[in-house]
A = this chain, B = another copy of it.
């Protein structure tokens, strides 16, 4: 692992000054290699699938692990999308002049070396490798043991692309053995050779990374997203947004988990919203106050307010207006994404001002919590920390900055 760290650090230097054209040429070569080696990748994936089925894992796990010719095409297309993103490196973020004539520029630079720790999805190998490369970073990939053959086959294509593009082949390295010790070594920072860790996977992986990492981590532990429907909401809009937020895809971090309804609007809002959710196939868990008004609902206990279901289940409570919503969210939120549905602008303004989650939405679905939907191109994840990267972590968020100061001989008095 120490060797991998040193090679990554060494590769990061030429990468940091590589031109956009060079990086894009390498990315295009990677996409081509993945298409050309589609058979090889599928064969490797077949081995992983045999092992997985033998060990009797869940169907959802098999689905995440499975590659098809279409999925491999999508992986190649994803790399080309990343090539098409704007290169953030070298961007002047801010510049100003000082009275003494100094001209100061704040300019984007790569972060350096990024460690990505992921689980069973082999496509993360290509996504994460390409995103990090675009931002001028070297990357160390540590995939799950279940997808190791698939990930290695994809990794070989990435390395081929690096070589064809004239970039150091150690720019994208993959830990050859998926043992837990490798994760521990990466979390220690490999003696200063890793600048940031990005975990991609379930809550237990993220929790381990957040607890043990000695380097910064870009991650969210969970997406316990709330929707608050105010008395001033347009009912039709609320219905559409609530159902979409919960049910479009229930397994993603931007899916809503708790619905808060303004007590003062319950008469008109409660029953239609609950019905719409039930019609969409969602289990609704509610407080006794709600169950007295709408029969046939499960009871929501305190545990429900802190549960990220990632499933077709939602917890519903009545709150005293936006203030009550802010209080509930302040207590239970994971600081990922919250939405307010209201026609009253003052309500939305207060919701936006007083809630400090990474993403706040007014009159739109929580499922827009996504780098692509934000127009950032792809993302390596969504962060809920307050440092550096927050919300979708796209190419731009994988950069740092430095100051360039131009003078004409100034000395300090």
Contact = CB atoms under 8 A, between A and B. Distances in A.
Interface of A: 13, 16-17, 96, 98, 102, 104, 109, 111-112, 195-196, 216, 234, 237, 240-241, 243-245, 248, 330, 348, 352-354, 356-365, 367-368, 373-375, 386-388, 390-391, 400-412
Q: Specify how many copies of this chain sit in the oligomer.
A: 2
B330 A244 contact: no
Nearest to A400: B386
A388 B391 contact: no
A111 to B, nearest CB: 5
A359 B17 contact: no
Contact of A237 (B352, B401, B409): B409
Contact of A403 (B237, B359, B403): B359
A166 B345 CA distance: 27
A405 B410 CA distance: 44
Interface of A is mostly: mixed
A274 B404 CA distance: 27
Contacts of A16: 354, 356
A227 to B, nearest CB: 12
Given A364-B407, A402-B360, A412-B244, A96 B390 contact: no
13 contacts: A96-B375, A112-B386, A195-B386, A216-B387, A348-B406, A356-B402, A360-B404, A362-B405, A363-B409, A364-B410, A368-B412, A388-B388, A391-B402
Given A241-B411, A248-B412, A354-B17, A362 B111 contact: no
A333 B86 CA distance: 31
Nearest to A405: B361
A401 B409 CA distance: 37
Nearest to A357: B402
Nearest to A386: B400
